[in-house]
Amino acid sequence: MAPLVVHVTGARPNFPKAAPVLAALGEQPVEQLLVHTGQHYDDKMSDVFFRQLGIPKPDVNLGVGSGSHGRQTAKVMEALEELFEDRRPDMVIVYGDVNSTVAAALVASKMGIAIAHVEAGLRSFDMTMPEEINRLVTDRLSDLLLTTSVDAVAHLGNEGVAPEKIHFVGNPMIDTLLKNKERFDPAAVRSEVGIEGDYLVATLHRPGNVDDPDDVRELVAAMHAVADQAQVVIPLHPRGRARLEEAGFLGHDGMRVIDPLGYIEFMGLISGSAGVVTDSGGVQEETTILGVPCLTLRPNTERPVTITHGTNRLVRRDTLADEVRSVLAAGRAAQWPTPPLWDGHAGERIAQVVMATLREHAQA
């Protein structure tokens, strides 16, 4: 009987990472079960990704919805425990650093099920980030640590992870980007959104930017100073939207707030932009491959390879306007470095590691 591999996804960042792994393992003698926890549950945050990226419809949708970190994680754990008891998978593959990721790792670990963590080893060293806690716990529990960058390998080694557990495979999210790059249509998105001329894209939702009222006021002032220089299009995440609006975020003619976009549309929007202001992790990686200047509005990043091998740099709210001025004056570079193994074949390498491990377990 073929071994059963369960993929646990739950939020928008997971889906482009899972798509190439699902496709590559689909060529192997395994049974796959795709679980969508429903952590992101509306169409623009989840379902559209399945349609656009050719991901099979989830076999199971747990429908946990939103909630506090504890409540959401508990709901996912309770539902997954019942599912794993029923199906007894040979391996659970988890992606990234969202609550669904750590919940699946906790349940699988306690049930003695092998865990593979895609995007292991990333570290911001900022314990105020919920994602950093999720990353640390998931990596500690995982049997296969599948890394996207050399620095991630080093972090795991420094933490005492056995070398045979660590596999540098590249970045499956970049597989998805490169596969779909020809579908990105900046002109179509520009027309749909109603933009003329140069523009910047912003994505802002981290607690460090949108939770504290003082931070929100600083952010609004900084972004208005950016909008003085160029139009800013911001697909606004539900998280923090009310706070930003209450603080007068929309009180500038240069700010264009839109609803979240599908993957293809969002990548088209970024591709045609003069630059991006973000606090997202994934956007730092996508701009690195697309050659779009990226200003990350955070004091740290768990993806330093996007700075050393890409187009990204860290900025503060009080320096943002000057940094944007510099980006607009310089324009987009004709050439830039890209990280090792971000070549469109990470999914295949992950499938090879997974299959080798499953064969070892079967022989044992």
155 and 262 inside one domain: no
Q: Note whether 245 and 349 are same-domain residues.
A: no
Q: Residue 36 catalytic?
A: no
User: Same structural domain for residues 307 and 357?
Assistant: no
Q: Which domain holds residue 268?
A: 185-330
If asked whether residues 198 and 127 sit together in one domain, one would say no
Q: Bridge partners of 294?
A: 276, 312
**How many percent of the chain have pLDDT more than 70?**
97
State the catalytic residue, choosing from 7, 40, 167, 205. Answer: 205
- Model confidence at 132, pLDDT cuts 50, 70, 90, reads very high
pLDDT bucket at 46, cuts 50 / 70 / 90? low
Mean pLDDT across the stretch 194-222? 90
pLDDT in tens, 59-87: 999 988 777 888 899 999 999 999 999 99
Q: Residue 10: its pLDDT value, please? A: 87
**CA-CA distance, 321 to 32, in Å (whole number)?**
48
- For the segment 39-49, the average pLDDT, to the nearest whole number, is 60
d(CA 229, CA 199): 9
Q: Per mean pLDDT, which range of 19-23, 39-43, 299-303 is the poorest?
A: 39-43
DSSP state of 311: S
In a shared domain, residues 164 and 197: no
In a domain, 179, yes or no: no
Mean local confidence (pLDDT), 31-49: 74
Same domain? For 29 and 156 the reply is: yes
pLDDT at 292 over 60: yes
Is 217 a member of any domain? yes
Closest by alpha carbon to 256, among 301, 190, 304, 319?
190
> Model's pTM, two decimal places?
0.94
| Residue 337 resides in a domain | no
Residue 42 pLDDT = 53
In this prediction, residue 240 has a pLDDT band, given cuts at 50, 70 and 90, of low
* Pair 324, 357 in one domain: no
- The number of distinct structural domains making up the chain is 2
> Concatenated DSSP letters for 24-62?
HHTTSS-EEEEEE--SS-SGGGTHHHHHHHTPPPPSEE-
Which pLDDT tens digit goes with each residue over 178-203? Answer: 999 999 999 999 999 899 899 999 99
Residue 124: which CATH number?
3.40.50.2000
Provide the pLDDT for residue 63. 82
